[in-house]
Amino acid sequence: MLLGSIEAGGTKFVCAVGNEDFQIKDQITFPTTTPEETLGKAIKYFQQYNLDGIGIASFGPIEIRANSKKYGYITNTPKKGWQNVNFLGEIKANFDCPVTWTTDVNGSAFGEYTMSMLANEHINSLVYYTIGTGVGAGVVINGKFLETQGHSEMGHVYLKRHPKDLNFKGICPYHGDCLEGLVAGPTFEARTGKTGKDVQINDPVWNIMSFYVAQAAIQTTLSFRPNKIIFGGGVVNELFLQKIRRDFAKLLNEYVSIPNLEKYITMPLMANNGSATLGNFALASKAYHS
């Protein structure tokens, strides 16, 4: 069996081919330019192989409702030139195999869920957040995504403001100070004038951000009671995660029982942001066998 994966980001596409054990056999990365050029490169790459299934995890917003006329489209994305692109339709038109379609963060969530199964964790639910240029989240319960009216937009929930951050308006063009508007990567420069990689972990801004991310973890805990919450993306590192755990414990105040925090709030099992590729392989395999 050969499976294809498209991790479609606003900056780059990562296309990979793997086997039935979800091991990568070949992989290619190229910049996200125009839809015609970028999708053309992906199609040409996969045409070298006799694929049994393809999984796509795409930047968005995307339409995931199968009964919608725009199912398979990237919709009102801020990415120039990619509005109302029939991504899924283009891939299906060129390959005679099952093709799955979900968000980039859902792909990562399913990859982490699959990896947990392979690691014999035997969990039945998890929530995956990515904190990078934007903030998104995916919820997997018993091997299925939690979504009916559309994909999750947990990156845009509202939060209690940190008392030392009241003058910061937030950067979200829709909501200002939602989660994404307060903790996404560009907020470093908006607050400090420096990029995130140049802000030392002992800078007070990290404590402000951990206060917000901990609130998101509490909302997730009280809403879904998952087995684990995973934080990935370019902003997240282990020292930041320690701050999040600290603030989570303080804010939750032992209201409900949770697992050991070191195991409950974690970084991805898959290194180098490889969760989405594994998730795409697993979803494609699932579609093939269904």
Length of the chain: 290
Same-domain pairing of 83 and 221: no
Structural domain count of the chain? 2
Rounded CA-CA distance 225/146 in Å is 13
Q: Which residues contact 66 (CB under 8 A, 6 or more apart)?
A: none
Asked whether residue 277 is assigned to any structural domain, the reply reads no
Rounded CA-CA distance 159/152 in Å is 17
Instruction: Identify the CATH number of the domain in which residue 190 sits.
Output: 3.30.420.40
Rounded CA-CA distance 256/26 in Å is 45
pLDDT reported for residue 20: 95
pLDDT in 10s for each residue of the chain, 290 residues: 999 999 999 999 999 999 999 999 999 999 999 999 999 999 999 999 999 999 999 998 999 999 999 999 999 988 999 999 999 999 999 999 999 999 999 999 999 999 999 999 889 999 999 999 899 999 999 999 987 676 788 999 999 999 999 999 999 988 999 999 999 999 999 999 999 999 999 999 999 999 999 999 999 999 999 999 999 999 999 999 999 999 999 999 999 999 999 999 999 998 877 899 999 999 999 999 99
Asked whether residue 68 is assigned to any structural domain, the reply reads yes
pLDDT reported for residue 274: 86
Rounded CA-CA distance 82/278 in Å is 25
Angle at alpha carbon of residue 56, lines to 233 and 219, rounded to 5°: 45
Query: The whole model's pTM is what?
Result: 0.94
Same-domain pairing of 35 and 8: yes
**Can you read off the two tokens belonging to residue 174?**
């829709």
Asked whether residue 110 is assigned to any structural domain, the reply reads no
**Can you read off the two tokens belonging to residue 151?**
């994909």
Asked whether residue 276 is assigned to any structural domain, the reply reads no
pLDDT reported for residue 272: 77
Pair type for strands 265-266 and 135-141: unpaired
pLDDT reported for residue 255: 97
The answer, yes or no, to whether the previous bond of 61 is cis (omega within 30 of 0) is: yes
The phi, psi pair for 227, rounded to 5°, reads -70, -30
Rounded CA-CA distance 239/241 in Å is 5
101, amino acid identity: W
Q: Which residues contact 80 (CB under 8 A, 6 or more apart)?
A: none
pLDDT reported for residue 147: 78
Same-domain pairing of 195 and 132: yes
Same-domain pairing of 138 and 212: yes
